[in-house]
Copies of this chain bind each other. A is one copy, B any other.
Amino acid sequence: MGVEIERKFLVLGDSWREAVIGSSAMRQGYLSTSAKATVRIRIVDDARAFLTLKGPTSGISRAEFEYEVPLDEGRAMLDMARPHVVEKRRHIVPHAGLTWEVDVFEGAHAGLVMAEVELVSADQAVALPDWAGPEVSHDDRYANASLSRNPGVPNATGS
């Protein structure tokens, strides 16, 4: 068990690409997005599968439980989750001592690029990179579970 504390931003431009140190392909589906728990199956690089439960969000933190599962079982669960599936390529981008994850969405959400940074406490100071645009940490439309239910790219924050 862990507690996930993260902030999320839309991404401006392509300059972040110069700092990428690794990337992986992710396909993830949602088996539940109930008030009690989000249940996600994620396939990474078509090679490993992870089942993740997340509790309700409190501010920018939530309980998280993640277990690796056999790939064939992960694939069967991804099929169960359809059409609530999100596809993206995740790029790892270090910046000012923190590890950012820049997600370039594909398929139904092509055009959306979003960056996340995981923190150890909710009030931790974060040095924002130049390419960090509007913060969407509190905008439910940008939650991957919401995206899985809604094809397309959400309109700019606040609209």
Contacts and interface: CB of A to CB of B under 8 A. Distances in A.
Interface of A: 1, 31-32, 34, 36-37, 39, 51, 53, 55, 63, 65, 67, 69-70, 72-73, 76-77, 80-81, 84
A37 B67 contact: no
Given A32-B36, A32-B37, 13 more contacts: A1-B73, A1-B76, A31-B34, A31-B39, A32-B39, A36-B81, A37-B39, A37-B77, A51-B51, A63-B76, A65-B76, A67-B67, A67-B69
A39 B30 CA distance: 12
Contact of A34 (B1, B34, B69, B76): B34
B55 A65 contact: no
Nearest to A2: B73
A89 to B, nearest CB: 26
A37 B38 CA distance: 12
A54 to B, nearest CB: 10
28 contacts: A1-B70, A1-B72, A1-B76, A31-B34, A31-B36, A31-B37, A31-B39, A31-B53, A32-B36, A32-B37, A32-B39, A34-B34, A36-B81, A37-B39, A37-B77, A39-B39, A39-B53, A51-B51, A51-B53, A53-B77, A55-B80, A63-B76, A63-B80, A65-B69, A65-B73, A65-B76, A65-B77, A67-B69
Contacts of A51: 51, 53, 67
